[in-house]
A and B are shown apart, each in its own frame.
Chain A
């Protein structure tokens, strides 16, 4: 474990508005880690698994994942991350509009670490993200065994 290495935040979110709001609130919580934002699943997977700067090859990361993506389902990405030798310990926070119980359960079954419903009520949304920021601040993210 190397706590000295900065944790990269990888955000996979097709809605730019959502992405902006999430980032804003993370920053408000005082988290200043690098944040990479991807608008679709394909690019995100490419970055996660193949990019030299990506978590598979370079340092610990945390993934913020939306389930409704234009080119694939977020659960597919979740399955691939959790099935990968290098990335399976990378925490994945699922952030989506669905509060369907079966879908939440499914995400946890697939290995999601946290599931957060994006509430339409902005205050609670902002709260949730800020708390996530605090959570990130104390969280021990395992290094990728390269």
Chain B
């Protein structure tokens, strides 16, 4: 199949259009030329007939003048005299007209040159005869007339006039012949142009049809894609949900399977400890009763064993806490969220109540703005987010400075912004991203914790469809800003 790209199609279409216009122009030119030719031909025919007509009139005038003269000579009648005068006066104007009409024809001019003296002489003689007859010399006039008949001047005039007449008709026939030939040529040319135009039209039609059908197909595909966009989104969301569930399951299994060996490590460590105590008692007794049995190595072992056991124990306990953290996070991700209307001020006040002792110990004050906007979201998630952030604020205050913690917020359309601000020890800008990672902490490690809180907070905020950011400088306090949807809707999340 012929591949038709847009550029090629455009060029072809333009070419076809130009060719079509050229053909139409040519056809138009031919028609104009033909009509001009026709008009000229008509004019010529008309001209010829005019000449023929004029010639006939001339002939008639000459004949009637001659007849009138003859008749008058036979029987002088004033009516014949009148006829003579009328016709004789017409001869020269007709002759002049014929001369003028045939001025473009040399042959005819030559014939006229022969004809003119004969007509003039005939007319002059007729006038002379009539003049003589009027004067009463009728006999002499008759004699003169008979002589002139012998000269056969009128015959010669007739022959010449006929020659002119025939020449004119021949010319007309010739001209009409060439005209007809040209016209037939023109007709052929027109037919060819028409045929070409038809072919071109068909080609362009085919081209446009194919192009249009391709366009239609493309448009249909686009339409399908467009209408199926939602389906695609649903599919992607399902994919994402599945991937998320996979990760959750993975975290869950990993933490479980890691926990199992840990039970052993801790358990047998405890058994070791018990054994160590028993052996320790024995060594002590030996030292008291038979000191020579207790070598330096045994004494060292006595000291090393509890230390080793202590390290094993603390490391394993730490590992257990980490695994528990992963488990908590994974469980959090699997939990079904139940959006409900939340009155934020009472909720925050309850949280503040649980922190009261620690606030008192830290000599810190927590203030909640009266105008914190309410929310439609999952209660537990929101509580956990704020309690983690508030706990952090209390935990990381700047020593030697009375702590001030403020919770505020504002509503903007379908998003709500909350701010938790403190004047604590702050976070180094280099750590602003890191603090949200699991098991990562920033600053002096003087507080208990595993580096889970903020990771947990961020995971929850994301699940609620929000974002969290922080502004902080070392020693100047920290501001956490939460952007949450005013109304949480679980879109394709874990069921």
Identify the A interface with B (CB < 8 A).
15, 17-18, 21, 24, 68, 97-98, 100, 118-123, 125-126
Closest chain B residue to A122, Cβ basis: B270
Q: Which residues of B contact A68 (CB under 8 A)?
A: 256-257, 260
Q: Are B263 and A97 in contact (CB under 8 A)?
A: yes
Q: Are A98 and B256 in contact (CB under 8 A)?
A: yes
Closest chain A residue to B253, Cβ basis: A68
Kindly identify, within residues 238 to 296 of chain B, every residue whose CB is under 8 Å from any CB belonging to chain A. Answer: 256-257, 259-264, 266-271
- In the bound complex, CA of A17 to CA of B265 (Å): 9
Q: Which residues of B contact A15 (CB under 8 A)?
A: 260-261, 263-264
Nearest CB of B to A123, in Å? 7
- In the bound complex, CA of A98 to CA of B266 (Å): 17
Q: Are A120 and B331 in contact (CB under 8 A)?
A: no
B111 on interface, CB distance cutoff 8 Å: no
- In the bound complex, CA of A15 to CA of B262 (Å): 11
- In the bound complex, CA of A100 to CA of B262 (Å): 18
* B contact face: mostly helix, strand, loop, or mixed: helix
Q: Which residues of A contact B260 (CB under 8 A)?
A: 15, 18, 68, 97
Closest chain B residue to A15, Cβ basis: B260
Q: Are A21 and B256 in contact (CB under 8 A)?
A: no
Q: Ordered nearest first, which 3 A-B pairs have the shortest CB separation? A: A17-B264, A122-B270, A120-B320
Q: Are B270 and A120 in contact (CB under 8 A)?
A: no
Q: Which residues of A contact B256 (CB under 8 A)?
A: 68, 97-98
B57 on interface, CB distance cutoff 8 Å: no
Q: Are B271 and A17 in contact (CB under 8 A)?
A: no
Nearest CB of A to B233, in Å? 31
Given contacts A17-B263, A18-B260, 13 further A-B contacts (CB under 8 A): A15-B260, A15-B263, A17-B267, A18-B263, A21-B264, A21-B268, A97-B263, A119-B263, A120-B263, A120-B316, A121-B320, A122-B263, A122-B270
- In the bound complex, CA of A21 to CA of B265 (Å): 11
B317 on interface, CB distance cutoff 8 Å: yes
Q: Are B259 and A122 in contact (CB under 8 A)?
A: no
- In the bound complex, CA of A122 to CA of B264 (Å): 9
A sample of 27 cross-chain residue pairs with beta-carbon separation below 8 angstroms, ordered by A number, consists of: A15-B260, A15-B263, A15-B264, A17-B263, A17-B264, A18-B260, A18-B267, A21-B263, A21-B271, A24-B271, A68-B260, A97-B259, A97-B263, A100-B331, A118-B263, A119-B263, A120-B266, A120-B317, A120-B320, A121-B317, A121-B320, A122-B267, A123-B270, A125-B263, A125-B267, A126-B267, A126-B270
